[in-house]
A and B are shown apart, each in its own frame.
Chain A
């Protein structure tokens, strides 16, 4: 028998989807999952969007002291932040224990622009937690999500529970290939976007002034401007340190958000870049991680001819 990727993952990580059709089903399976984990001494995190969080808090009121509750719509607003900021940090915090997580990163209200980042996130959980002792249950609102989302749930989870029946997913595939399938060209930069080409260390101050001026004009708040400038600066650092050439910053607004794209000739070879904090003493490897931390959404497209990183900041 050949050991499939799914079998290797199952050896330590149990990452499964839950396709639920109503509130009763949702509560039945999620609370059973949490209670059995508590019974075996796991550290338990429940990270689901606001309304479901309220439901679960109520249903788990008797054991709430032993469970960490987090609003996924806040902590996981940027799907790229969930692995490093929520899951890995919880795992590190409870290094000696198995962790059990109810993680609902996809919900009907998720903006379509955010969704590809969610699918990539769910795929990358598999390699990131492959060697960790963890159980993750990812609920999907099967009654209200479209079939494409549910199809992806089967593709990104080695096992799926539906209508009380848990079975290995026939569609689960190599998570890196699944993630690569989401690596699609970004929608074109609008012709009305402001742009600035840069090259070399001395251009950093010019880039920061450019982003500050356009983010201010676009109506972003002071702290969000500073956060965006830091994120852009990190990406420009990456261009300077990892490519032979320069790059281009473009900035524009769309309804509800300000968008800033950094494009250069570099190729992102590590699909996990920006998902795993490097060791404490490592010099680099933190640029994308910081961008995920500081922005509301980060979309990336990398190809042989170069990489574009699109940072989104929600307008107040």
Chain B
């Protein structure tokens, strides 16, 4: 069973894969997430089925979903009526769609955009569904600006373990039955403006390898000011594995000016040195 307190620990900038085993857990997680969004004055977008059921669950928890919908704070629609309307999944267009919605929410004065998608459709043979992990990794680039957040709901009964593993790795965080709420989100990666770069918090390991890889591969193009050396701030990172160190080291050394890695612990510095990119500049 998923602990609701784990869902409540998610913040703007997070992108979590929520793996549920039963419908009651799914509904409870959804309602928790939506209510938190209303409290924090976010615009909430839900893409999935069962809107009436969700409204009923929210009502049972004392939240008037109809009112939130009427006021424009909450929008619920089926993927088949929105980003899958063409009958296929276009991952790039969907990523662009999140950027657009993020800008609209900002323009409308919301403090953030809170998205939730039921990904059950991806278990069906839909054109483009094979690019799901690519999409999940790429969409991190939207959330890493710290204004939007998302949870993606995956039904364990519909996906193979191997497929779920690839999907989870593309998210910085995964919440599943048995997840220790204290480790949620496992990794938070938010781009910074001053100094320009990225700040990593939590733990970078096999379970979020694809997410970190994509964020680092595109950090230069996603940073508005590319003339200044970018700073990769690890001071909030509790754990870095060997592959993550290589990802950071390779990205930092690729292109000019080289990025600077700051806040690495002694062991992280050993790992970065071992990763063998002599151009990686590390500072305390």
A interface residues (Cβ-Cβ under 8 A, vs B)? 201-202, 204-206, 208, 223, 226-227, 229-230, 233-234, 237, 240-241, 277, 280, 283, 286-287, 290, 293-294
Contact = CB atoms under 8 A, between A and B. Distances in A.
Contacts, number: 61
Given A201-B206, A202-B179, A240-B206, A223 B267 contact: yes
B276 A280 contact: yes
Interface string B267-281: 100110010100000
B186 interface: yes
A201 B266 contact: no
Nearest to B169: A201
Interface residues of B, number: 27
Nearest to B165: A201
Contacts of A277: 276
A25 to B, nearest CB: 39
Contact of A229 (B178, B180, B206, B239): B239
Nearest to B207: A201
Interface in B239-284: 239-243, 246, 265-267, 270-271, 274, 276
Given A201-B168, A205-B203, A294-B270, A237 B241 contact: yes
B183 interface: yes
Interface of B: 165, 168-169, 174, 176, 178-180, 183, 186, 203, 205-207, 239-243, 246, 265-267, 270-271, 274, 276
B66 to A, nearest CB: 37
Contacts of A208: 203, 239
A241 B246 CA distance: 18
A240 B178 CA distance: 18
Nearest to A85: B274
Contacts of A290: 242, 271, 274
Given A233-B241, A290-B271, 10 more contacts: A201-B168, A205-B183, A226-B266, A227-B270, A230-B240, A237-B205, A240-B206, A241-B206, A280-B276, A293-B270
Contact of A230 (B168, B180, B267, B276): B267
Given A230-B241, A230-B271, A205 B180 contact: yes
A234 B243 CA distance: 9
Closest 3 CB pairs of A and B: A226-B267, A201-B207, A223-B266
